[in-house]
Structure 1
Amino acid sequence: MKPSTLSVAVLTAIATSPALSETTELNDILVMSPTNSEQSIRSVTSNLTVITAQEIEEKHYQTIQEALQVVPGINLYNSGGPLQTTLLQVRGSSNGQVLIMVDGVSINDPSSFGANLNTVALQDIDRIEIVKGPQAGVWGANAAAGVVNIITKQATQGGHAQVNIERGSWNTQKLATTLSAANDHADFVFSLSDTSSDGYSSVIAADADSDDSERDGHSQTDINFKLGLNLSTQHRLETSIKKNQSDFDYDAYAWPNGYDPEDAVSHAKIDSELRKLQYRYQQDGLSARLYLSNYQIERTYVEPFVTGYYEGESTEKGGVVNYEYLSGQSLTAGAVLSEYKGVSDYYGLSEAEYQSTGLFVTNTNLFNNGSLIISESLRNDQYDNDFDDKLTGRIGIKYRIKPDIYLGANYGTAYNAPSLYDYTHSVAGLQPETTEGYEINLGAYGLEVSYYDNDVTDLIGYNSLYEAYNEDGTSSLSGFEVRYARYFKQLNTDFELAYDTLMAKNAENQWLGRRPQDQVSLQVMYDGFANTQIGIQSRYVGQMYDQNDQQGQQIGDYFTTNLTASYALNKGLNMYVRVVNVFGEDYTSAITDASSNNVYSNGGMQTFVGIRGNI
């Protein structure tokens, strides 16, 4: 279907959906991402989506990418295969404009751009919080398009153990285990995950079949440990360490043959480690925390003609205070000192480092028994290098007409700091990108509709020498997002439909490449059979060109469908099967090179069978 026809069809289907027969209870979980302090989801004005651990388990996602791509406004594309480089776009933004964190600690790679989503194992996740729109007023650099904050699991009172064993296509094998315990004085969580696969070719000819190509295997090991000590009822000490090691083959560019699966196989190794030490204080309406965090990532790429090495490190020292000065009125203030270091050795050694100091404050007011919410944030970031200091802010308002009907709006300014690679490979005077944007949100009985408009100035581009520079003019990113979710009790069915349409154009009014104009996702889960749950997840990606100005090949306009089924053998033991791309749709997320006929592979239809036990 053409995008215009698709838009009408989806909106009509949603508009004619029956209303809920009873009031939907709002989930009163605490979230961190909108204000950098714990708050009820009821008091959030930002466009917020939460993916819970229960949802991840029930839908048997294989990767974080699978969980994220059903969120309206999000698009992902990778370089073929589960551990290959994956780029995340939020509302048409580039990968580096999205701040990705684990428990509030940025895992954006200082030596490059964006973050490696593969460094977090699914069984460690308690929830994923996605906040869309400019968020620099709270989080500073690289939150120009939004924030993805992955919150890992905490131990619950008593003890808990889980084991997950899985086998699947391409000789994929997975073993994951989690052990946790807690009492009034201390708690801990330990998890281990190990995955390996023969894999499929990351790059194939456009008319080739993955089954007939060589294999790009991969393996990954994740270790996570968290320890908490309750020193008293007001004082708590927390420490955590997370390590990830990944090895994978890929198909490098081997001039003059281009991507040749037989002659250009390369190997990569990625090691990352995240460490955090945090002190918490809480009494009455006052809470405070002091923290020290460190994130390191090392990447080595062995290609036919060269070996590339990258090392990035970011360190943060910060403190945040939240005070409820009146009932329903709270103030959050904080300070953070950030240090960034990067080394790259790829056709030449380059090193860079810089520091920044950020001061921020957020005020949240709830009026009329919480039906009216107003939130304001302001942040100042100062740099010790050639970057200009940045003052950014955000203001949001939400009015809840009824418990299930609300109207809201948000406005914010933000910026995207150049990566250390950009800083050392740039023309003179390189400055951060700046973003100004607003959104209008409407919610009613499970239906959520958003309109957004973001303008990006000083967009960072690259010349023929791969040097970073600021483009002239302003790029415009705007669109609609629609989501409808409801559980039909009479049908024992959980239903979710999401749709978004995007207009992404640069300063020359040219469509930006690799941005789908329309996306639709449908998820249906049925649990009417005893101890059994079956589900279908279908996704449509609309028209999309590989290059700007609708040039290159048209790589959109395709459907993918996944099927899941699970059976509870007893209270603690569950068997499941997941079929990915059940119809073997022949699609690609990107063309490898404009002058070649090679594409990134999707692996075709894949089947995974597993068993999960809880004690």
Structure 2
Amino acid sequence: MKRTALSTAILLAMTPALAHAQDAPETEARTLDTVQVTATRVAQTVDETLASVTIIDREEIERLQPQQFTDVLQGRAGLSVVGNGPFGKTTSVFMRGTSSDHHLLLVDGVRMGSATSGGASWQFLPPEEIERVEIVRGPRTSIYGSDAIGGVTQVFTREGRRGPPEASAFLGGGSFGTRELGVGVAGGTDDTSYRLSMSHFSTDGIDVQDGFGDDDRDGYDNTSLSGKVSHRLDNGIELFGNLLYSEGATEFDGTPDQTDFLHAVLQGGLRIPILDRWDTELAYAQSRDEGENFAAGTFFSTFDTRRDQLTWRNDIQLGDRTDLIAGVDAYEDRVSSTTDYDEDSRYNVGVYSVLRSGFGAHDLEGSLRLDDNEQFGDKVTGQVAWGMQATEALRLRASYGTAFKAPTFNELFFPGFGNPDLEPEESETLEVGARYAASQAYVDVAVFETRVDELIDNQMVGGVFMPINVDEARIRGLEIEGGHEFGPWNARASLTLLDAKDRNTGNELRRRPPVSGRFDLDRQVGDFSLGGTVLARGRSYNDGDNEERLSGHGLLDLRAAYAIDAEWSVLVTVKNVFDRDYVVARDSFNEADYNQPGRAAFVKLRYQQR
């Protein structure tokens, strides 16, 4: 089934949209850039949290000018991005050396990912529809349930605003036959805010693998719709809803050679002030991760996941510095596929609580969660954390937490391959950190150790290749992140040192570089802004036996922007300035590298009504 109806409607709608733009006063300056909610499900400043947190706001996203969402994540503290080629190809985002499916992706609080493969479709997230990204490193299973062994990344879609409607639009293109365009409108009243935006990205791409499959370029297109609305009633109850919908196609070498995808989340709910110190939120959401595969234009297979999720959260202030967050979340995964799974659905119900308290210079936090899973029964996880404001600028923290990852449908039920007796993967993490923040500068340092037991590995058992619980991993790491704004300059840097080993063999875990880093530097010069990003990645191994070595590399990206007037601007980006050849993943079975782009240039014209 080709999904073209939405794409056609959006492209037709983009053309006349600017004609309806109206004059409007300047918007209020945002003051919540340093507030995050992912660590505990309630709002905290970054300086208050007892976790290792990175915030990427809309201003930074626009400054970086990413062509792919993973451009925003690459090289951040604790993160390593591995793609089987650029532009919509299968992508893993390793957090703190754990597996990619140990890294939970949330979109506006809703769990995303495939129930069959277990991983999230990072490659399909449209950067133009994203308001803010919150990265929380370290286990969060005691709050969010399965998958959050390495941590959580939460994506927030574009926000509405108060005031008359304001229109926005962009048009761009560049190397590899890349084309993109979009339009949006945001506005509201004292009680209502809304935003609706649409975007389209397409590229001819590059030939993903040399000497395997065809020699043609492997393209990608993505058409996305994002919407968010909230309305506050006279009695204080707030109604809210949000949508992120993406569809398109991505090509690659092999059989099949094309996937038509649908990646979507829809959520609605209400927030109720029960008492002065007690707020509750109730929400229903559905996420979908669907793919239809084709070989030489002929239908090949379908793997569709639908997840229905119901959440109930309560925020209770017990004292001046004591808060209780408690709730229930339940979800059901359903699989629809041309593959005949032994089971095609399962449910999970989780009950959790977080207690935060402070006395003097000290803060304490504890969380506990019970998950009841239809497949493997009950699982209890917990976490404790301590923090101390050592000086006005220096804050210390330490934490210990347990987590787990439920086996996927493929691992449990895939015909001829699945193992229904698998146990969840389990972990323990100990972390010590410090954050120094003064004026316009900060430095955050964290040292951690994670031990993962019951790791699932594919092995030959009784003449059958199947997943079993055998491996154990020990991961140690050091993360350093810092930033400084001084006059017209804005600098941000991160460094990750990682020792990720298979405890049974002593080998490094595959595709985890021991050293990686990132440095961003931007400067405002009148109506111009100039900037660049340096990405560095050490060598790694493509296989668990450490026989296929992937060389390290360094990349330089440059960018510039010019404000034509208060509403119009033009942006130019040059990626991989020195045209480096580099590889982050290899297809061992076909003995072919997954290619990455050489030097590339992109230009974009942006309009924002003010």
Task: Name the counterpart of 2:162.
Answer: 157
Match of 1:221 among 205, 220, 223: 223
- Tell me by how many angstroms 1:233 deviates: 4.8
Do the aligned partners of 1:344 and 1:351 also contact (CA within 8 Å) in 2? no
- Mark the runs of 5 or more structure 1 residues left unpaired by the alignment: 1-25, 254-264
State whether structure 2 residue 241 is matched by structure 1 residue 236.
Answer: no
> Within 5 A, what are the aligned runs for 1:576-595?
576-594=571-589
Task: Name the counterpart of 1:119.
Answer: 124
Task: Name the counterpart of 1:293.
Answer: 285
CA distance in 2, matches of 1:335, 1:174: 41
Which amino acid in 2 is paired with 1:232?
D
Task: Name the counterpart of 2:181.
Answer: 175
State whether structure 2 residue 608 is matched by structure 1 residue 614.
Answer: yes
- Tell me by how many angstroms 1:354 deviates: 1.0
Match of 2:515 among 518, 521, 538: 518
Percent of matched pairs sharing the same residue: 23
> Within 5 A, what are the aligned runs for 1:310-389?
310-346=303-339, 351-368=343-360, 371-385=361-375, 387-389=376-378
State whether structure 2 residue 596 is matched by structure 1 residue 602.
Answer: yes
- Tell me by how many angstroms 1:343 deviates: 3.2
Q: Give the match's secondary structure for 1:144.
A: coil
Do the aligned partners of 2:34 and 2:55 also contact (CA within 8 Å) in 1? no
- Tell me by how many angstroms 1:205 deviates: 4.7
Which amino acid in 2 is paired with 1:452?
F
CA distance in 2, matches of 1:578, 1:277: 37
Q: Give the match's secondary structure for 1:37.
A: coil
| Residue deviations 1:70-99 (CA, integer Å, cap 9, x gap) | 311100111112101111100111111011
Task: Name the counterpart of 1:256.
Answer: none
Which amino acid in 2 is paired with 1:586?
D
Match of 2:529 among 509, 519, 533: 533
Measured at CA, do residues 299 and 216 of structure 1 come closer, stay the same or move farther in structure 2, by a change above 3 Å? same
- Tell me by how many angstroms 1:482 deviates: 1.1
State whether structure 2 residue 268 is matched by structure 1 residue 277.
Answer: yes
Measured at CA, do residues 213 and 595 of structure 1 come closer, stay the same or move farther in structure 2, by a change above 3 Å? closer
- Tell me by how many angstroms 1:217 deviates: 1.5
| Residue deviations 1:540-583 (CA, integer Å, cap 9, x gap) | 1112111124211x213211110001111111111110011111
Task: Name the counterpart of 1:460.
Answer: 456
CA distance in 1, matches of 2:345, 2:238: 33
Do the aligned partners of 2:146 and 2:405 also contact (CA within 8 Å) in 1? yes
Task: Name the counterpart of 1:268.
Answer: 259
Q: Give the match's secondary structure for 1:118.
A: helix
Which amino acid in 2 is paired with 1:427?
N
Task: Name the counterpart of 2:6.
Answer: none
Which amino acid in 2 is paired with 1:238?
F
Q: Give the match's secondary structure for 1:308.
A: strand
CA distance in 1, matches of 2:126, 2:356: 34
Do the aligned partners of 1:111 and 1:341 also contact (CA within 8 Å) in 2? no
Which amino acid in 1 is paired with 2:499?
M
Measured at CA, do residues 459 and 117 of structure 1 come closer, stay the same or move farther in structure 2, by a change above 3 Å? same
Q: Give the match's secondary structure for 1:181.
A: strand
Task: Name the counterpart of 2:4.
Answer: none
Moved more, 221-230 or 446-455: 221-230
Do the aligned partners of 2:223 and 2:246 also contact (CA within 8 Å) in 1? yes
CA distance in 2, matches of 1:582, 1:512: 31
- Tell me by how many angstroms 1:534 deviates: 0.7
CA distance in 1, matches of 2:33, 2:56: 14
| Residue deviations 1:211-251 (CA, integer Å, cap 9, x gap) | x9421111110011222221225201112222110212110
Q: Give the match's secondary structure for 2:59.
A: helix
CA distance in 1, matches of 2:71, 2:593: 20
Which amino acid in 2 is paired with 1:147?
V
Q: Give the match's secondary structure for 2:218.
A: coil
- Tell me by how many angstroms 1:448 deviates: 1.5
Do the aligned partners of 1:27 and 1:41 also contact (CA within 8 Å) in 2? no
Do the aligned partners of 2:158 and 2:226 also contact (CA within 8 Å) in 1? no
Match of 1:478 among 476, 492, 506: 476
- Tell me by how many angstroms 1:350 deviates: 5.2
Measured at CA, do residues 199 and 550 of structure 1 come closer, stay the same or move farther in structure 2, by a change above 3 Å? same
Q: Give the match's secondary structure for 2:154.
A: strand
CA distance in 2, matches of 1:520, 1:41: 21
Which amino acid in 1 is paired with 2:241?
T
Match of 2:498 among 482, 498, 502: 502
CA distance in 1, matches of 2:123, 2:162: 30
State whether structure 2 residue 537 is matched by structure 1 residue 547.
Answer: no
- Tell me by how many angstroms 1:497 deviates: 2.2
State whether structure 2 residue 206 is matched by structure 1 residue 200.
Answer: yes
| Residue deviations 1:334-356 (CA, integer Å, cap 9, x gap) | 0112111123335x555421111
- Tell me by how many angstroms 1:27 deviates: 6.8
Do the aligned partners of 1:171 and 1:197 also contact (CA within 8 Å) in 2? yes
CA distance in 2, matches of 1:389, 1:196: 45
| Residue deviations 1:395-416 (CA, integer Å, cap 9, x gap) | 1112122232111111100000
Q: Give the match's secondary structure for 1:604.
A: coil
